[in-house]
Structure formats: C-alpha cells, structure tokens
Structure 1
Amino acid sequence: MGTRRNRQELAQFLRRCRERTSPADLGLPGGSRRRTPGLRREEIAVLAGLSPTWYTYLEQGRDIRPSTEVLASLARVLRLSNDERTYLYLLATGNPPSDERPRSDTSDDAVVRAVVDGMAHPGLPVYAADIHGDLVAWNDVAAKWYTDFDALPEGRRNMLWWMLTAPEARERFVNWEEDTRDVVGRFRRAAAARAWDARFEELVGVMRDASTEFCEWWSSHYVSKQRTRLRELWIDGEPRVVQLAVLNLADSTRSVVLHLPPDTGSAPDWPSCGEDLR
C-alpha cells in the first residue's frame, strides 16, 4: 500500500472523516450516549461491507492493501468529496481512481486560446514551479505582482512558504486565506502521490513550525486538485482579478502558471512590466 508515511496519513484521514460524519446523516441512532464524535469503527465497517477488525487495521496504519471496491465503499459511507476520494485512492494505491482521466472538451478552447495569447502579453505575470511549489523561473511582472523571488533565502523560494510566512503575501492577496488554503490542499494531494519524496516531508516540517494556519489546515486533512480558478490581487492599490491556468510540462515535475483575463476573452488593459505596479 505504499510507504509507511502514506499508511499513517491514510489512518489519520480515515479517523478524521469518520469523526466528522454524523450518524443521523446515515440513519443511525445518535444522542448523548456516544462518547466520541461521529461514527464508530464498527459502524463504518458494517456500512462499507468490511470486517470491523480489517477496518481497524486500516486506521492503525497497518500494511494492508484495500481493493478499489473497498475504497469506493469507504468513500461512499464517509461522504467524501471528489477531491477527498481521489486523495483516499492516492494514499492507498498511489494512483487516482480510474474514472479521473483527462477529458476532451471543446468548452476548454476559450481558455486554451487565452493561454496562447497570454504567454505573449507583456503585462501578464508568468512563473514556473516544481511539484513542491519551489519556483524555478518567473518574469518581471510576476516579481512585481508577488515579490522579489531572487531575494528569498536559498531553499525558501517556495510559493506556499511565501504565502504562509510573508506579511507581504497577506497584503497582496485579496482573499489570502482562501487562496492559501487551496494551495495547501493541492500540496497535500501532490504529497500523497509521492510518498517517497523527502522534500515534501521537509517542507511540512518547516511550515508546521512557521505557520499556525498551516497546522490547522494540514491537521484537518483538507485536500483539493488543480483547477483553472480565479485569483484576486492588490495591484497598484486596486484589486485585480485574474484566471490562473497551469501548464504541466510533459516528462517533468515542473509547471508554468499563467495569469489570464477573468473572462478569457481579451487581453487586459494593464501596465506593461516596465511600469511600477506597487
């Protein structure tokens, strides 16, 4: 079932989801007689069609290998979101569910056209990062919109680290908590897919020490996937809304992050990178 780290994460995730699940939502008796919140292990096991002992082994982090059918049953009983279901599969098997495959949809064409246009626009930020969030490249506009990444300490040129620890980040993001929590959720998903990757473990350790918000969100097992989404930043004293589009490079752990007009219809009337945006 993967590494010991993922088995422990799976055990904690299952316990967290069990404790938050209301017995009433599943038609079970509740009341003050319950000594612990949520469902009992035995109830989860019965509802998912599992042996209580076998399910207990899962929550103890033992080296057992649940089938995809078992994972599907647990996701149903625990009322997991799509992102949480994928996270469950990643922890247990190292792979997402078989139905989570890239789709071919012409409704994405407008975004694709905006990406092509945006890459050539001098007023749009562009930066590239690896799977850990470590920045590897950026243009001048990205440095002006976010921060002078060159000035960050060695080993801390990391987007999530900066968002969590820099006072400047809280001033830049209009919705700092929402944006940062989303990045934490995507970081957790990426870590689950690479249980052997020591860089994730290192970053989790330093961010736990540096940020109470990270500790709270990490302990809650919040998880999300990468999506094309809006981000609002304070630029030149005014809020500016952009649509983020991420290009994953083939045969690489690097991605390019583009900032597009929110309606993907036309290039924004923003200053060029030669003008002061602060």
Structure 2
Amino acid sequence: MPQGPEQRRELGAFLRTRRERVTPAEVGLPLSGRRRTPGLRREELALLAGISATWYTYLEQGRDIRASDQVLESLARTLRLDPGERAHLFRLAGHTLAAEAANEDPEPLPSEVAAVPRLLQPQPAFIINGRYDVLSCNQAAEELFPHLTDGPVAPANLARWTFLDPAARDVVVDWEEEARGLLARLRTMAGRHPGDPRYTTLIDELKSGSQEVRAWWPRYDVQVRHGGRKRLRRGGHEVVEYAYTAFHLAEQPDRTLVIYVAEGADR
C-alpha cells in the first residue's frame, strides 16, 4: 500500500516515541556521559537493528523511502514492540493487508446483526466500528452508559462519550486508565485508515474538547482491541466489576460486538 506524506510523518513520529522509551541498559549498551534526550540515540538504534544510521534518520524524518519486511522486523525486535505495536509499525510503513484496506463500513448493518445486542438483554451489549461509533445497543447498555445514544451529536460514539461527556468520569471508576486504552486503540484503527477524514474529524473533535487527548495523542500509544475487566458505577451509586468480551464480526473485522457481564452474574 503506497504511503502518503502524512503516513510517513506518522511513521517517523511513532519510531521516535518508541526509540525514546528504550534505555541503553535494556539493550546492553554502556552509559556514556550525559544524554540530552531520553532513550536510545538514532545511531545506536540503527547499529542494533543492523541498518544505516543515515537511512534510519531519513525514515524517522518522514522521507519518501520504503522499508522492507526484514528492516521492519529488525526495528520491531530492537524497539521491543508488542504484537499490537509491531502490526501498527507495519501498517504505517505501507504494509497493510488487503483485508484491512477494504472499506470498514459496508452499509447497512444487517438487521439480524443489529438485533444481536437486544437478544443479549439483560447483559449490556453493543456493536461498534473502528471509530467507536455505536451501531447498535440494547437497553442495558443505554442504562449502564447514560447519554451514550441520546447525546447531542450523532452518531453515538463511545470515544466521544468517554472524553467529552462528564457522565463518563462518574460511570468509569478507573477513568484515566480506561480512557488511555481506548485512545490507544483508536490510534491503532486510525493507522489502518491513513487520511480517512472520518477518523481525522473525530480525532480533531476529541483534541478540541479534551485536554487529556491533546496530551496523550502525541505519545503514539497503540493497542489492539481486547476483553478484560472494568469497574463501573451502576445507577450513579453502586460500583460493580464487569468482565467484558469483544467479538469481531465475520468478514467485517472492524465491527465489534462487546458484551459486559457483572461479577457474580449467571453466565
């Protein structure tokens, strides 16, 4: 997949942030005097990855050069990227799989799929796309996440609700941790659709309305969507721990069914 200037800049910024978090001690390099910047120097990373320092500098500067699979693998290994970060690196370098480059929003959401969250009542459940637009949800989810679907801006969007609706900070007990993870997953999805105005518009809106997004977005954290556990304040008072699971829809991997089950509930 060809790279545009914006995607090359994203690649350079992502590499820089990852280089800055790796200490010389972690990769077996001796400390050599005072360092002006955190992490590895460019020439140190290039040496460890077995590539030219000049060529790597061009890559980080966003110049129009093409990195091979072998070079990307070496950089990912040296930078100690996790699987999600490694996949993000390859996508930014123009190695996106054909299935990921396809339109993520075939229309419309089939009625039998849209009905699934209602069939899962009373467990809170909803279907989202890669931008966290809420495509379908049941009554339990609407009650657990107040104003998610009846907010002033359409379409309903979980990222917008998390960062821009004050109710989210009351409902999500560990708000900062959860919000950071959501933003990292949104960046991962945006990396699969470079230049897509739908992502750009959403991200600009989040930056405009949230000081946290403005502070966290430049860190280039990425994360794949997954299940886990989350503490939520139900009904404005009771704190309940939920296990949640994400299922990607067949042939539509950017669309995800998310189901919440309260701790101790019958499963």
Which TM-score band applies after superposition, normalised by the shorter structure? 0.7 to 0.9
Aligned pair 1:203/2:223, yes or no?
A: no
1:153 Cα deviation after fit: 2.2
Structure 1 CA distance, aligned partners of 2:12 and 2:150?
Answer: 40
- Mapping of 1:1-278 within 5 angstroms? 1-95=2-96, 120-155=119-154, 157-236=156-235, 237-252=237-252, 253-262=254-263, 266-267=266-267
Q: Which sits farther off after the overlay, 143-152 or 185-194?
A: 143-152
How many residues end up aligned between the 2 structures? 246
Structure 1 CA distance, aligned partners of 2:119 and 2:149?
Answer: 23
Secondary structure of 1:246 counterpart: strand
Deviations 1:83-114 (A, max 9, x none): 22221112113437xxxxxxxxxxxxxxxxxx
Is the Cα contact below 8 Å between 1:2 and 1:94 reproduced in 2? no
1:3 Cα deviation after fit: 2.7
Gaps (5+ residues) in structure 1?
Answer: 97-116, 268-278
Structure 2 CA distance, aligned partners of 1:164 and 1:120?
Answer: 29
Query: Residue type matched to 2:211 in 1?
Result: T
Is the Cα contact below 8 Å between 1:249 and 1:255 reproduced in 2? yes
Is the Cα contact below 8 Å between 1:119 and 1:258 reproduced in 2? no
Secondary structure of 2:8 counterpart: helix
Deviations 1:185-242 (A, max 9, x none): 1111111111142111111111111112112221111111111211221113211222
Secondary structure of 2:62 counterpart: coil
Query: Residue type matched to 1:218 in 2?
Result: W
1:178 Cα deviation after fit: 1.4
Change over 3 Å in CA distance of 1:13–1:182 after alignment to 2: same
Gaps (5+ residues) in structure 2?
Answer: 98-115
Is the Cα contact below 8 Å between 2:246 and 2:257 reproduced in 1? yes
Structure 1 CA distance, aligned partners of 2:117 and 2:141?
Answer: 13
Query: Residue type matched to 1:75 in 2?
Result: A
Is the Cα contact below 8 Å between 1:229 and 1:243 reproduced in 2? yes
Structure 2 CA distance, aligned partners of 1:230 and 1:74?
Answer: 32
Secondary structure of 2:203 counterpart: helix
Change over 3 Å in CA distance of 1:194–1:262 after alignment to 2: farther
Is the Cα contact below 8 Å between 1:47 and 1:77 reproduced in 2? yes
Is the Cα contact below 8 Å between 2:20 and 2:40 reproduced in 1? yes
Secondary structure of 2:93 counterpart: helix
TM-score (norm 2): 0.84
Q: Flag the structure with more relative contact order, 1 or 2, with Cα contacts below 8 A and sequence separation at least 6.
A: 1
Secondary structure of 2:16 counterpart: helix
Is the Cα contact below 8 Å between 2:148 and 2:161 reproduced in 1? no
Structure 1 CA distance, aligned partners of 2:47 and 2:233?
Answer: 51
TM-score (norm 1): 0.81
How big is the alpha-carbon RMSD for the aligned residues of Structure 1 and Structure 2? 2.2
Structure 1 CA distance, aligned partners of 2:257 and 2:30?
Answer: 50
